[in-house]
Amino acid sequence: MTRHFLDIDDLSCAELDEVLVLAAQPAATAPPLLAGRGAALVFEKPSLRTRSSTEIAVVALGGHPVYIQGPEVGIDTRETAEDVARTLACYHALICARVLDHQVLVRMAAALDEHDGGIDAPPNGGVPLVNLLSDRAHPCQVIADLLTLRQVFGDLGGRTLAYVGDANNVWRSLALGAAMVGMRVRTAAPDGYGPDADDLARVARLGGEIEVTEDAAEAVAGADAIYTDVWTSMGQEEEAELRRKAFSGFAVDDALLAGAAPGAVVLHCLPAHRGEEISAAVIDGPRSRVWQQAANRMHAMRGLLGWLLAEAGAAKVAP
Ligand code: CP
Ligand code: NVA
């Protein structure tokens, strides 16, 4: 069965380690697994980092990225998500998508699996699907985050990650990914914006240690890494004012960081809003690793795509 990547725990802990090892290797050594082949990149939401890093990762693997905006495709308006997936599999060795609704990815993956090797299979059957962010998850981001933390700390086992902010898509993948590499996770969010019981159970199933609090200082106390994300995610713009009020007191600033471990670093998936979830002094200050983290998006994608293509049997001839 073709391996898809809809969230970080679609990989085993050992597989995540393999991806991280690949991601740490120089781009020049990447095998040309996509030579003469295409990668479809569908975006239903805006992107700066994910689009560019994925395009360049595809090029590093010898392939040709084709950027497709949501309205051009009209997932479930112009045609079904399943037919979009089946069609793209006729031309591409890889399908990557940023979607409004995570369920769309689940349906696309199922459609690709149905056709995997079937009589009416698209010529490129066995095409991996990669989540470039959904309302539920952002696993490609988290590979870059873990790569960055490994570069800073080496082995991450026993280190503490404090996430301050909305327990949304980035948080969900991050909490899972951190648990998979043996980090302790602490989450601070205001009432109503924290993890739900399913989220916590999922982390626990991976053997992860997770603490949830409504006190940001408690989460950050002694932590090795402090992570935040925007208070208002793409698609939630109408809630911006409400969220600004709800999250006041959850800004990552110098006062909050005073309680962190002496060598603590700060990460942010970006885009950042200075003066809201993070102060300018912190994001532009000495603890910040956000540009290393942003650069790692490209290395992480090269590692992930290389791993998925190798799994999919990259030796297939170009269509
Ligand atoms: N961090 C991240 O995914 O950025 P973009 O939305 O710009 O791709
Ligand atoms: N939570 C943010 C992440 C952006 C990369 C959003 O979904 O907009």
pLDDT of residue 278 exceeding 80, the answer is yes
Distance 273 CA to ligand 2 centre (A): 12
Q: Which of 186, 151, 169, 189 is nearest to 50 (CA)?
A: 169
**Cα distances (Å, whole numbers) of residue 188 to 20, 183, 283, 316:** 27, 16, 19, 47
CATH number of 8-137+297-311: 3.40.50.1370
Start-end of CATH 3.40.50.1370 domains in the chain: 8-137+297-311, 139-295
Pocket of ligand 1 (CB under 6 A): 47-50, 133, 141, 269-270
Q: What letter represents residue 105's amino acid?
A: L
Residue where the block lists tokens 């327990």: 167
Residue 233 to residue 143: CA distance in whole angstroms: 20
Catalytic-residue membership of 98: yes
Q: Which fold has domain 139-295?
A: Rossmann fold (3.40.50)
**Inter-residue contact 161 to 148 (CB < 8 Å):** no
Q: Which ligand is nearest to the CA of 228?
A: 2
Confidence at residue 121, expressed as pLDDT on a 0 to 100 scale: 57
Residue 255 to residue 252: CA distance in whole angstroms: 8
HEC readout, 278-308 = ECHHHHCCCCECHHHHHHHHHHHHHHHHHHH
Catalytic-residue membership of 292: no
Could you read off the pLDDT of 44-101 as tens digits, one per residue? 999 999 999 999 999 999 999 999 999 999 999 999 999 999 999 999 999 999 999 9
**What is the pTM (predicted TM-score) of this model?**
0.96
Catalytic-residue membership of 229: yes
pLDDT of residue 122 exceeding 90, the answer is no
Residue 31 to residue 309: CA distance in whole angstroms: 10
